[in-house]
Amino acid sequence: MPEWHDPVMVDEVLAYLPHRPDGVYVDGTTGTGGHSSAILSKLGPKGRLICVDQSEEALAAAQERLGERGRRAWFHRGSFSELDAPLAELTEPRVDGILLDLGLNSWLLALPSTGLSYQVDAPLTMRLDPDLPETAEGFLARVSAQELEAIFREYGDLSRAPLYARRIVEARGRKRLRSTSDLVTALAGGPHRGIDSAELSRIFQALRVEINAEMERLDRFLERCADWITTGGRLVIISYASHEDRRVKRAFGPKGRDPRFIPLSKHPLAPTASEVERNRRARSAKLRAFERGGQ
């Protein structure tokens, strides 16, 4: 079993959540419970935390990690974009704060069954939520080169997107891509050719974002979250990629479309140099925090 994920920017999260120790909060991307554990440690005796994640395996790991503290948490498998169901159990279906960490949980990345890592030969799944209709294998069997190119540009920032899209389409014409090694071979242009690991990482990232409908779910959350957060409540979002941060800034930044959310800092917060040195996954993180006004 892989080691638990090391959460990013914990001190910065705790500067904003929980601001009402006896309130109710949501960790919408619980993963293995790193941020949840920190928030629970600051809650008062009446405080509660709703732990949401799309992965049953991650939630089980979080329950184990939280131990006794987990008795003050409720666990719900589902997407952070659909919070009506878990909040319906509350007396007042609005909470005092929501946290989203949009990064990929390293614990899930290390699980061979997810097919998320190019470093592990595994079935080409990439689907973290079993409710989603399609795996990466099925998607790559039907998607057009033009669609792949757009996905690689938008979610992977790849200058050679046309080349990689073409290689996938050519390779699947010879045989169906069923494993991560099949995909790596296709991207490299053949079984004995190499490919830059940084580009591989961005390609796998782009496909994961698409397969898991990550941006569609983020957009839906940003449209609905005002319904789920009470007046004076807080929203904290940690993003790692430009396509994520653009959406958050467009929704709630200084010129955002929803004036009910007031930024709590002029600029997004970045991790400290010591954290980046300790945890390289933190290097691209940006934290934006907002408070919900009236209306």
> What residues of the chain score a pLDDT lower than 50?
1-2
- Enter the pTM of the model: 0.93
Q: What structural domains and CATH numbers belong to the chain?
A: 10-108+214-292 (3.40.50.150), 133-211 (1.10.150.170)
pLDDT in tens, 124-177: 999 999 889 899 999 999 999 999 999 999 999 999 999 999 999 999 999 999
pLDDT (0 to 100) of residue 110? 75
As a three-state string, the secondary structure of the chain is CCCCCCCCCHHHHHCCCCCCCCCEEEECCCCCCHHHHHHHHHCCCCCEEEEEECCHHHHHHHHHHHHHHHHHEEEEECCCCCCHHHHCCCCCCCEEEEEEECCCCHHHHCCHHHCCCCCCCCECCCCCCCCCCCCHHHHHHHCCHHHHHHHHHHHHCCCCHHHHHHHHHHHHHHCCCCEHHHHHHHHHCCCCCCCCHHHHHHHHHHHHHHHCCHHHHHHHHHHHHHHHEEEEEEEEEEECCHHHHHHHHHHHCCCCCCCCEEECCCCCECCCHHHHHHCHHHCCCEEEEEEECCC
Confidence at residue 70, expressed as pLDDT on a 0 to 100 scale: 82
Give the pLDDT confidence score for residue 1 in this predicted structure: 44
Percent of the chain surpassing pLDDT 90:
78
Predicted pLDDT at 199: 94
